[in-house]
Structure 1
Amino acid sequence: MFKLFRKKSEVEKMESNFKKLMKEWHELSSINRKLSDEKYAMAQALLPRIEELKKKHEAH
């Protein structure tokens, strides 16, 4: 309940965006392969940044 009013961290925002892109990728995979591949590439591009932010967060 208390998380309801808490702002999302940058990592949480990026993870949410990643999940959204992966969902769109899956939905488009049988409809439009080109657009599906673009969504997948966008999602994969977020992974290194997410991992980097997680490492920084763990270090602190």
Structure 2
Amino acid sequence: MKSVINKLIVLSLTSLLFTSCSAIESIFKAGMGVGIFIVIAILAIIVYIISKFSDKK
């Protein structure tokens, strides 16, 4: 009986850990998307500023 309870506890803990890992994976994927968007936005601003300075000639 003790063995069955131990197996159930291990199984439930393992399933909980795997779902938390997938949740963290989703958070990192979303963070990566936001990071890429921010980098592209900053590059666009830099190109805009450079083009404004080069037009003054």
- Taking structure 2 as the reference length, the TM-score comes to 0.45
| Higher Rg of the two aligned structures | 2
Pick the structure with more helix per residue: 2
